[in-house]
Amino acid sequence: MAVKVVIIGGGSSYTPEIIEGLIDRQATFPVREIVLVDIEEGREKLEIVGRLAQRMIEKANAEITLSWTLNRRAALVGADFVSTQIRVGGLKARALDERIPLKHGFIGQETNGAGGLFKAFRTIPVLIDLANEVAEICPDAWLVNFTNPAGIVTEAVLKHSSHKKVIGVCNIPFNMRNSVAEILETPVERVAIEFIGLNHFVFGRHVWVDGVDRTSDVLASLNAGNDYSPANIVGLGWSESFLSSLGMLPNPYHQYYFQTKDVLKKDLEAYAQNGTRAEVVQQVEAQLFEKYKDVDLAVKPEELEKRGGAYYSDAACNLMDSIHNDRGDIQTVNTLNHGTIRDLPDDAVIEVNAVITKSGPRPISIGALPLPIRGLITNLKTFEQLAIQAAVSGTYEDAYLACLMNPLIQDEKRIDPLLKELFTAHEAYLPQFKKEVYS
C-alpha cells in the first residue's frame, strides 16, 4: 500500500509545490518514498531543492523517505508514479523559442507556434527514452507528464514508446475551474466545467454549479473584465461579440489564435522593454533558489506562486491520489481519444474530463465537436500530429509541414529562414535532425 513517487526534473523550482502537495495528502495518499532525479547540468539545483524538500518533510513530521540522485534507472526501481517536469535546454532554450520567431514576425511563445514546436522537438525524444525505461524497470507505474507542450508530448510518448500508462496534466483547466468558482462566489467543489479540446486549446462548453448551468453568468463576468489568465500570460480581454457568439469559455492561450496581431504587438513591446519572458523567469528563478538555500526555510515560499505554474502540483497530486484510491471522481486530463471526440483520430491525445480509476482515466464521451470549434481543433491536432511526425522522423519536410499547418506560422515563404535559424540555435538538443537537413 505504501507508494513511491519519482520526480524527473526534481531540481526544478516547482518541486517544493509537489512536495507540499504530497505532504498534505498523507492521510489518504500514503506516499512513503520520494526520489528526485535530475541530470548533471542540474546537479546544483537538485541539491538545493533536495535539502529544502527534506526540511519540509521533517517540519511536517511526514513519514516520507526522500532522496535525490542523477541515477535515473536506479531511482525508477519500484516506482508507483513517475512525474516529469523537465525543460530540455533549460530557460536558455526557451529564450530562443521566444526570441527567434518574434524576429521573423511570428508569435514567440514557449508552447505555441514555432517556439512550442521546437520545445516539442527537443522534449519528445527524451521523454520517449524515459517512458521506455519506465516500461522496462517499473512497468506498473503511471507516468504523469507535466512537460510542455503537454498534449503533444503525451501523444508522442503513447505513440512511440512501449509504455502505455501515461497521462498528461496541465494546470489550465484546474485554474479555470478555480477562477470560475471565484467569479461565481461558490466553493470550487460545487463547480463542474465540461472541457473540450486539446491542451492549451481547450474550451469550457458548460459551467454547472450543483448541476445547474451557469455558463452565461461566467461569460457575462468575463465580458465585464474578469479574467483567469495565469501569471505568464497577459490577458487582453475578450469582446462581447466573441463571448456571446462562441457561448463557451475560452482559455488564456486562445489569445494567440484569436488576437494574433494584438498579441504580437504586445509581445514585441514587452520584449523591447524586458527581453523575453524566459529572461524574466530566469531572474525569478535565481531569486527563488536563493530563498531555497536558506536553511531556516522549511515550507514552500510564497514567491513560488507568482512563478506561473500555480496549482500544477495540486493537479498532479489529485490525479495520483485518485488513481491510487480508485476514487472515480472527474478530473481533466490529457489522454488517448479512442473515439471520445468523433472528429479526431483514435490515437490523438485530447484534453478531456475523465472518471479517474485505478486502471486509468475513462473519458466522458463528447461525440461530434460543436460546429464553431470543429475546424480549429482539427487544425491544431493536425499540426500536433505533424509536429510529432517531424520530431520522430527528423526530416525537414515534416518540420516544414508542421509550420505550414500551424495557424500562427503558415506563411510558406517565411518558413525556410525561420526553421533554419531555429534548427541552428537548438542544434545541441536535436540529434534526430541531421545538420545537413537544414543547412
Residues annotated as catalytic are: 253
Neighbouring residues of 356: CB distance < 8 A, sequence distance ≥ 6: 319, 322, 323, 327, 328, 329, 330, 331, 333
- Residues linked to residue 81 through DSSP beta bridges, in sequence order: 5, 142
CA-based nearest residue to 407, from 239, 245, 260: 260
214 is in an annotated binding site: no
Q: Can you tell me which of 66, 156, 415, 422 binds its own copies, judged by CB under 8 A?
A: 415
- Can residue 424 be called a binding residue for its own copies (CB under 8 A)? no
138 is in an annotated binding site: no
Q: Can you tell me which of 265, 342, 434, 435 binds its own copies, judged by CB under 8 A?
A: 342
Q: Give residues 70-99 in contact with its own copies (rule: CB under 8 A).
A: none
Q: Among 31-39, 196-204, 299-307, 403-411, which window interacts with its own copies (CB under 8 A)?
A: 403-411
Angstrom distance (rounded) from CA 9 to CA 18: 12
Q: Can you tell me which of 69, 132, 178, 389 binds its own copies, judged by CB under 8 A?
A: 389
| Phi-psi category of residue 347: left, alpha or beta, with phi > 0 → left and psi -120 to 50 → alpha | alpha
- Can residue 273 be called a binding residue for its own copies (CB under 8 A)? no
Q: Give residues 98-117 in contact with its own copies (rule: CB under 8 A).
A: 105
Residue 92 has a CB neighbour count (10 Å cut-off) of 12
Q: Which is nearer to its own copies, 67 or 395 (CB)?
A: 395
Size of the site for its own copies (CB under 8 A): 73
- Can residue 375 be called a binding residue for its own copies (CB under 8 A)? yes
Q: Give residues 155-194 in contact with its own copies (rule: CB under 8 A).
A: 192
Please state the closest distance from residue 310 (CB atom) to its own copies, in A: 26
| DSSP secondary structure, 304-351, as one string | GGGGS-TTHHHHHHHHHHHHHHT---EEEEEEE-TTSBTTS-TT-EEE
- Can residue 433 be called a binding residue for its own copies (CB under 8 A)? no
Please state the closest distance from residue 402 (CB atom) to its own copies, in A: 9
Residue 76 has a CB neighbour count (10 Å cut-off) of 21
Q: Which residue has the cell 514508446?
A: 161
Burial of 289 (0-12, 13-18, 19+ CB in 10 A): middle
| DSSP secondary structure, 197-264, as one string | EETTEEEEEEEEETTEE-HHHHHHHHHTT-----TTS------HHHHHHH-SB--GGGHHHHSHHHHH
Q: Can you tell me which of 178, 382, 424, 432 binds its own copies, judged by CB under 8 A?
A: 382
Q: Can you tell me which of 6, 138, 380, 418 binds its own copies, judged by CB under 8 A?
A: 380
Q: Can you tell me which of 225, 371, 436, 439 binds its own copies, judged by CB under 8 A?
A: 371
Q: Can you tell me which of 41, 44, 63, 210 binds its own copies, judged by CB under 8 A?
A: 210
- Can residue 139 be called a binding residue for its own copies (CB under 8 A)? no
Q: Which residue has the cell 514555432?
A: 114
CA dist 283 → 85, 90, 195, 231, 278 (Å): 19, 13, 34, 15, 9
Please state the closest distance from residue 305 (CB atom) to its own copies, in A: 30
The half-sphere exposure of 178 on its side-chain side, counting CA atoms within 13 A, is: 13
- Can residue 290 be called a binding residue for its own copies (CB under 8 A)? no
Q: Can you tell me which of 257, 423, 429, 433 binds its own copies, judged by CB under 8 A?
A: 257
- Can residue 294 be called a binding residue for its own copies (CB under 8 A)? no
CA-based nearest residue to 237, from 255, 220, 249: 255
Q: Can you tell me which of 162, 411, 431, 434 binds its own copies, judged by CB under 8 A?
A: 411
- Can residue 339 be called a binding residue for its own copies (CB under 8 A)? yes
Helix (H, G, I), strand (E, B) or coil at 168: strand
Task: Look up residue 27 and give its three cell numbers.
Answer: 492521510
- Can residue 239 be called a binding residue for its own copies (CB under 8 A)? yes
200 is in an annotated binding site: yes
Q: What angle, rounded to 10 degrees, do the helices at 277-293 and 90-103 form?
A: 160
148 is in an annotated binding site: yes
Please state the closest distance from residue 423 (CB atom) to its own copies, in A: 13
Q: Which is nearer to its own copies, 96 or 380 (CB)?
A: 380
Please state the closest distance from residue 308 (CB atom) to its own copies, in A: 24
Binding-site residue positions for Mn(2+): 170, 200
